[in-house]
């Protein structure tokens, strides 16, 4: 039985690699499928794709707190299984979708059950000591990197045989991952660390308001939100932008994402522990934000495709930011509330997904519209850089406040 095994980060590493591979498989082809439904109109497709990503994020915003609270009550493993089942259904529906409406239905299902990231972060917090969490979250980041090496590269190649082929492969991968979770993945949350389910904590508003009990965490919520919006803006227009600006095919887009994943693995597995150990979690997060600002600006100004690869390598240094932030916030929350904490931060990312992708898609569509006198295809990246500046400023302020001594009443 899975519950008889001793929980360890390696188990969740495998789960996350398989999950991210499934996501990565469809990244190079989903915008192309939307464009196909829109008769090849890239500007209109960018708007529709922005709405599609926004629907996913809205449903994730509603579903993540519930899944987080359920994971604190029943354990991490059942919630992971729910998320994987939702992903498998999503991919099958998209593979068969006869209209755009069915793609929206599939994305709504996936968003409602998208608790894999929040739950895996809680799993890592369960099985690691506070002093080792930066390294452990670096392992999670490496899982993302590996998934994004294999997924987009394979998805780009499969896309050459048909835009729907990667969806079938992703569905099979999600089903395989579900079987791994059912029969191999052990539970990480000890019975004594579980707590009763509460709808007050399981709704998105209540989950976010609960952060007020942790001042050190609450202060970073705004920074996390701003950075998430910027990242999701980049992800939502990457395929469309590269195809429009440099004429990249699905294979070439997949190759670029694979390079991003490879450099991410190097950073997450090799740099997180020594860098965070040397400069600390707070400076590590700020450094990552500054690197991301430069990289985001570079994407918008790039004039040749090869420049994107150079920027990707430099941008990988920003990968230390996620583990630094996760390590910092998990040390300020008790064990029986890690699921709700991750659910709250997942809700913030969902809110970012409601805002970021539509804004990026609309900005991109406006910037390339032939009717306009000014054409700035890189506009979404410049907007993302501005948001990253705000994130760094908010994080710096939050860290300073957390270090201020509490005044003692006279």
Are 342 and 210 in contact by the 8 Å Cβ rule? The answer is: no
In sequence order, which residues have a C-beta less than 8 Å from that of residue 400 and are 6 or more positions away?
none
Give me the pLDDT at residue 339, please. Answer: 65
Terminal-to-terminal C-alpha distance of the chain = 59
Angle between helices 379-403 and 272-301 (to 10 degrees): 150
Rg of the Cα atoms in the chain: 20
pLDDT beyond 90 at 310: yes
More confident residue, 72 or 133: 72
Does 1 score more than 50 pLDDT? no
Per-residue tokens: 277: 């150990």
Calpha distance 226→359 (Å, rounded): 13
Element (H, E) at 71: helix 42-74
Q: Which fold has domain 2-187+203-403?
A: Growth Hormone; Chain: A; (1.20.1250)
Q: How far apart are alpha carbons 167 and 22 in whole angstroms?
A: 8
Q: Give pLDDT, residue 96.
A: 92
* DSSP one-letter code for 406: P
> Mind listing the pLDDT tens digit for each residue in 211-242?
777 776 777 888 888 988 998 888 878 888 89
| Cβ within 8 Å of residue 370, ≥6 positions away | none
Q: Which residues contact 133 (CB under 8 A, 6 or more apart)?
A: 124, 125, 326, 327, 330, 331
Split at pLDDT 50, 70, 90, the class of 190 is confident
User: Distance (Å, rounded) from C-alpha 227 to C-alpha 233?
Assistant: 10
How many Cβ atoms sit within 10 Å of the Cβ of residue 99?
A: 9
* pLDDT, tens digit (0-9, with 9 covering 90-100), for 246-291: 988 878 887 887 888 788 778 877 777 788 888 888 888 899 999 9
* SS3 state of residue 274: helix
Torsion of CA 140, 338, 283, 145, to 10 degrees: 10
- Report the distance separating Cα 77 and Cα 189, nearest Å: 9
The pLDDT of residue 308 is above 90: yes
Q: Is the dihedral of CA 344, 335, 12, 129 positive or negative?
A: positive
8-56 tens-digit pLDDT: 667 778 888 888 787 777 877 888 888 888 887 777 787 787 788 778 8
**Which pLDDT belongs to residue 402?**
66
- Contacts of residue 383, Cβ cutoff 8 Å, sequence gap at least 6: 230, 233, 359, 360, 363
In whole numbers, what is the pLDDT of the chain averaged over residues?
81
């Amino acid at each position: 039985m899975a519950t008889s095994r001793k929980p360890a980060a390696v188990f969740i590493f495998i789960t996350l690699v398989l999950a991210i591979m499934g996501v990565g498989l469809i990244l190079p082809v989903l915008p192309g499928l939307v464009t196909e439904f829109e008769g090849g109109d890239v500007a209109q497709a960018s708007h529709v794709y922005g709405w599609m990503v926004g629907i996913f994020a809205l449903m994730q915003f509603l579903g993540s707190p519930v899944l987080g609270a359920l994971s604190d009550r029943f354990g991490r493993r059942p919630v992971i299984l729910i998320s994987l089942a939702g992903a498998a259904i999503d991919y099958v529906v998209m593979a068969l979708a006869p209209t755009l409406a069915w793609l929206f239905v599939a994305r709504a299902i996936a968003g409602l059950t998208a608790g894999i990231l929040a739950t895996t972060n809680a799993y890592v917090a369960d099985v690691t000591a506070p002093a080792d969490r930066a390294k452990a979250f670096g392992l999670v980041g490496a899982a993302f990197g590996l998934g994004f090496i294999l997924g987009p590269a394979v998805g780009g190649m499969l896309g050459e045989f048909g835009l729907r082929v990667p969806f079938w492969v992703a569905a099979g991968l999600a089903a395989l991952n579900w079987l791994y979770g059912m029969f191999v993945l052990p539970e990480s949350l000890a019975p004594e660390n579980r707590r009763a389910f509460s709808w007050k904590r399981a709704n998105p508003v209540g989950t976010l308001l609960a952060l007020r009990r942790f001042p050190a965490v609450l202060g970073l919520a705004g920074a996390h939100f701003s950075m998430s919006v910027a990242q999701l803006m980049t992800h939502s227009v990457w395929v469309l932008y590269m195809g429009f600006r440099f004429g990249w095919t699905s294979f070439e887009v997949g190759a670029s994402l694979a390079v991003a994943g490879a450099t991410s693995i190097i950073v997450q597995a090799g740099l997180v522990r020594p860098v965070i150990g040397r400069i600390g979690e707070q400076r590590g997060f700020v450094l990552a934000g500054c690197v991301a600002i430069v990289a985001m600006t570079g994407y918008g100004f790039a004039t040749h495709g090869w420049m994107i690869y150079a920027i990707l390598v430099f941008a990988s240094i920003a990968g230390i930011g996620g583990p630094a932030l996760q390590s910092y916030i998990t040390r300020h929350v008790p064990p029986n509330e890690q699921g709700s904490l991750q659910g709250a931060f997942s809700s913030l990312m969902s809110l970012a997904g409601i805002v970021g992708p539509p804004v990026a898609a609309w900005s991109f569509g406006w910037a390339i519209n032939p009717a306009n006198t000014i054409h700035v295809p890189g506009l979404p990246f410049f907007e993302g850089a501005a948001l990253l500046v705000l994130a760094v400023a908010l994080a710096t302020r939050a860290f300073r406040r957390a270090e201020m001594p509490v005044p003692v009443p006279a």
